[in-house]
Amino acid sequence: MAEINLDWPNIGFAYRETPVRFVSDFVDGKWDEGRFSTDSNVTINESAGVLQYAQTCFEGLKAYRTEKGDIVCFRPDLNAARMAESCKRLCMPVFPVDRFIKAVVETVKRNADYVPPYGSGATLYVRPYMFATSPVLGVKPAVNYQFRIFVSPVGPYFKGGAKPVSIMVSDFDRAAPHGTGHVKAGLNYAMSLFAIEHAHELGFNENMYLDAATRTYVEETGGANFIFVTKDGKIVTPKSGTILPSITRRSLIYVAQNILKMDAEERPIPFEEVKTFAEAGLCGTAAVISPVGRVTYEGGVINFPSGMEKMGPVLQKLYDTLTGIQMGRIEGPEGWIVKVC
Ligand SMILES: *Cc1c(COP(=O)(O)O)cnc(C)c1O
């Protein structure tokens, strides 16, 4: 059991400082051996690449307390691989996959008291990230970088937990057609904040982005992918080169096809088709699966009656299976669960 006693069901999704973080520096063309630090502040040069040209990217995964009391992580190898892709796209050095996984495990272990208890509804969010530390003025990649991992206990991403989320479709685009939409980086988030704030002001929880090139296909929200269920019970999720390849979404498709023996496909989804779906949800590490109750767009409103009070039955089955694997109630596919301690 966790020694730290917080009001777990009500902690919300917010930064909460924990004792230990991992820090490694890229200097002279290589990563140092790394260290664990109790200092939560970062001191960098005023002209550091991250401050001037936004050379930074991040990852997000969770550590879970299982039914048996173990602490585990979910598929950290995929976060390591995705971060490597983000780094390459932003001209940053890759932090090796094996070292990434080891550093995640060690950082979680050193903050084990902050992993919320099984069944509390809270989990430990793990945030690996990298940024350019050395000064730049001309537009070019920096020379030195820092890779860090901190952890923070979190509750559900959306207030009210499994309550339906209402979404608006605005004129804002999340990413340029051939830009960095597939990269998990602050630059995309910075560009999405205005749309999210706009949606909040109008009383919606989130904004649905359409593809910037034609504005006809469903993309994603600021921080989660979409997953839909057709009237005949098939799972569908958008395929696009300009959305973030969600590990949750990929895992859900695998679970649907291989464990629940359901039909599941990834394909372009015209916005026109959304009104024909039986269920809609947002998926991601933070959102897990959050049901969408309503989508409001210029031409009208789409309601998902199945998800107005809670999650629809098909998404609920997917949710129960995925979280069952993460919390150790269900045996997952090989390699999905990495034991911390
Ligand atoms: C992190 C993220 C997601 C969710 O990905 P997961 O790997 O499932 O956590 C979706 N969209 C964006 C833009 C993201 O940054």
Per-residue pLDDT of the chain (341 residues; tens, 9 = 90+): 557 889 998 999 999 999 999 999 999 999 999 999 999 999 999 999 999 999 999 999 999 999 999 999 999 999 999 999 999 999 999 999 999 999 999 999 999 999 999 999 999 999 999 999 999 999 999 999 999 999 999 998 877 666 778 999 999 998 888 889 999 999 999 999 999 999 999 999 999 999 999 999 999 999 999 999 999 999 999 999 999 999 999 999 999 999 999 999 999 999 999 999 999 999 999 999 999 999 999 989 999 977 667 889 999 999 999 999 999 999 999 999 999 99
The answer to whether the CB of 60 is under 6 A from ligand 1 is yes
- Give the residue range(s) of CATH 3.30.470.10 domains in the chain: 8-154
- Cα(247) to ligand 1 centroid in Å equals 7
The 8-class DSSP code of residue 51 comes to H
**Cβ 18 vs Cβ 112: under 8 Å:** no
Partnered with residue 126 across adjacent β-strands are 61, 151
- Give the residue range(s) of CATH 3.20.10.10 domains in the chain: 165-326
The answer to whether the CB of 103 is under 6 A from ligand 1 is no
Radius of gyration of the chain (CA): 20
Burial class (CB in 10 A: 0-12, 13-18, 19+), 137: exposed
Instruction: Report the b/e string of 65-84 with b at 16+ CB within 10 A.
Output: beeeeebbbbbbbbbbebbb
Q: Is 8-154 CATH 3.40.640.10?
A: no
User: CATH homologous superfamily for 165-326?
Assistant: D-amino Acid Aminotransferase, subunit A, domain 2 (3.20.10.10)
| Rounded-to-integer distance, Cα 267 and Cα 269, Å | 6
The answer to whether the CB of 245 is under 6 A from ligand 1 is no
Name the residue of 13, 86, 173, 244 to mutate for ligand 1: max ligand atoms within 8 A of Cβ. Answer: 244
Residue 165, φ and ψ in degrees, nearest 5 = -100, 140
